[in-house]
Amino acid sequence: MKTLITGGSGILGTELKKFFPNSLFPSHSELDITNHEMVFDYFSKNEFDSIIHTAAMTSIRQCESEKKLSWDTNVVGTKNLVDATTEFRPNSKFIYLSTACVFDGHDGMYKESSIPSPENFYALTKLIGEQQIKNLKNYLIIRTNFVGKQKWMYPKAFTDRFGTYLFAENVASGIKEIFDANIEGTIHIIGDKKLSMYDLAKITTASIQPMTIDEYQGPPLTMDMSLDTERWKKYTLK
């Protein structure tokens, strides 16, 4: 069995290569998901049995400042893949990587059955992507919240922004388990502890400094990104 994985050069895509070695990881030049003709051409010329769609524009700031690019990537790109799947592989499993940010973050510990309410444009585009995926016969939407296991990219991290975080390698492992279990619908892949972003950053970066939302200037953020699950197990952040 061969899987097409979009976003193969990203943090999660890199980890997925370890669990799906016999798969296709096209570069952007080989598969620009915003280009409808290129997507259909790729699907018609390559053999694969399932799709894992991780490619996305994920910077909240960039999504706000470059809304057209964000829309083209996260919404149009996803629709192109859905349309090509419907045309060429209507029975193939399609796994879509969504985000905890589809929730407003006012309460936290959101379950698969909780009602999404996006706080910013990035979250809106990902939620629209979820809705598009539901047009397929065989789909799986995965909501999660992860970072790469590497030095924190900023000098500070929020003490008052929370999540049930995992590292990308934990999420990739979870995706493989769920893939093998042949589960459909919506699943949350989450850590077993609710942490502040600062506590998460300290795991890989001892020099990280604390900050609060009062110091932040930018688009609205999902302050409590913590998820719960009614359908799957929880993972240990390690």
Provide the residue ranges of all domains of the chain, joining segments of one domain with +: 3-148+166-189
What is the rounded distance in angstroms from the CA atom of residue 220 to the CA atom of residue 145? 17
pTM: 0.97
What is the rounded CA–CA span in Å between residue 56 and residue 93? 19
Task: Check pLDDT > 90 for residue 23.
Answer: yes
List strand residue ranges (DSSP E) for 151-196, in order.
156-158, 162-163, 166-167, 185-189, 195-196
Is pLDDT of 1 > 90? no
CATH of domain 3-148+166-189: 3.40.50.720
212-234 pLDDT, tens digit per residue, is 999 999 999 999 999 999 999 99
- The radius of gyration of the chain from alpha carbons, rounded to an integer in Å, stands at 17
Question: Mean per-residue pLDDT for 15-39?
Answer: 96
DSSP assignment of 80-122, as one string? HHHHHHHHH-TTSEEEEE--GGGS-SSS--B-TTSPP--SSHH
Find the mean pLDDT for residues 3-22: 96
Express each pLDDT in 49-98 by its tens digit. 999 999 999 999 999 999 999 999 999 999 999 999 999 999 999 999 99
H or E stretch covering 77: helix 77-88
When pLDDT is cut at 50, 70 and 90, the band that residue 151 belongs to is very high
